[in-house]
Amino acid sequence: MPCNHCQSTVFTPLVTLKGYDLVRCVDCGLAYVSNPPSAEELKRIYSAESNYHVQLHDPASETWRSFEALAQKHMAFVRQQAGSGRVLDVGCSTGHFLAAARAQGFEVEGAEFSADSARVAREHFGLTVTEGSVHQVSAAPGSFDLVTMFDVIEHVPDPAADIAAVWQLVKPGGWFVLSTPNIDGLFPRLSLPLAKALGHWPHPEPPHHLYQFSVRTLAAMLEKGGFVPGAVSHTRIPLSYTFGSPAVLARSPKRAAYAALFAPLALAGPWIGQGDWFYIAARKPA
């Protein structure tokens, strides 16, 4: 499988997890799964049948509340780039960010690959949501002042094609804002060498994440797609997501020991510009 950015077929193996081979392109540094799931398997993975985001479909759940808080975090970064206009959220899930953006004066719509999550966004928030990827959005070129993709670009089979589709949808002078895990973050970078020996790497793993970006590789892809990369903000994935809840750790001394070793790195990463998760904004030239 050639590199999605530079088309090189020369890569270095990084680790095999759950039967999926994570490799790094020798020429440009992009990390990706070289034997990804089929389109049919991906559709199954992102369904309620596979327990995908099932708790997020319940407004009374703790997961629902956590996504409300996450939506405000997304808005804080977006507000540094764009203050108003028409926004498309690609991979909008159950619609929490779009609801927050609408409350702050944006005109909103979404696209969501999971039919179950798209249904919740429509029924609970009354949102306009296209079922599918950015390629199914039927808006005319230049329709949006802002397109967002929060924790989505790492999931898609062809990031370069999605970036090209977004470029068509954004107005000249408009913004493209993304977030994604950072393979060059302090914790993932220092823990990856142990992954092969342990068979465990709790930085987001395949098959859900088909690509592992760094700030450098994602900025390069955005620039190749016609955008001008701009502001970057380093943050971190919640520790409970990466290492497990306190209850889970209490039942597993090995996981607790792993968390004790690496959680401090995950906490420190953002402070030195090496968070294991980051936001990036890019502008389409006017």
β-sheet with 11-17: strand ranges across: 11-17, 20-25, 31-33, 211-212
Task: State the Rg of the chain over Cα.
Answer: 18
Please tell me the predicted confidence (pLDDT) of residue 52.
57
Average pLDDT over residues 109-127: 93
CATH of 36-181, one of 3.40.50.150, 3.50.50.60, 3.60.150.10, 3.40.50.720: 3.40.50.150
Please tell me the predicted confidence (pLDDT) of residue 75.
96
> What are the tens digits of pLDDT across the range 79-94?
999 888 999 999 999 9
Average pLDDT over residues 223-242: 96
Quick check: 129 pLDDT over 80? Answer: yes
- Mention every residue, 6+ apart, whose C-beta is less than 8 A from residue 163: 153, 176, 221, 222, 225, 227
Q: How much is the mean pLDDT over the chain?
A: 93
Please tell me the predicted confidence (pLDDT) of residue 248.
87
Please tell me the predicted confidence (pLDDT) of residue 206.
81
> What are the tens digits of pLDDT across the range 41-68?
877 776 655 555 666 677 878 888 888 9
Q: Is the peptide bond before 207 cis (omega within 30 degrees of 0)?
A: yes
For the chain, domain boundaries: 36-181
> What are the tens digits of pLDDT across the range 163-215?
999 999 999 999 999 999 999 999 999 999 999 888 889 987 788 899 999 99
Quick check: 114 pLDDT over 70? Answer: yes
Quick check: 38 pLDDT over 90? Answer: no
Kindly state the tokens that stand for 86.
Answer: 């028409």
**What share of the chain has pLDDT > 70, as a percent?**
96
> What are the tens digits of pLDDT across the range 270-286?
999 999 999 999 999 99
Please tell me the predicted confidence (pLDDT) of residue 47.
62
188 three-class SS:
helix
Residue spans of alpha helices (H) in the chain: 39-45, 62-78, 96-103, 115-125, 159-169, 186-198, 215-224, 239-243, 246-251, 253-268
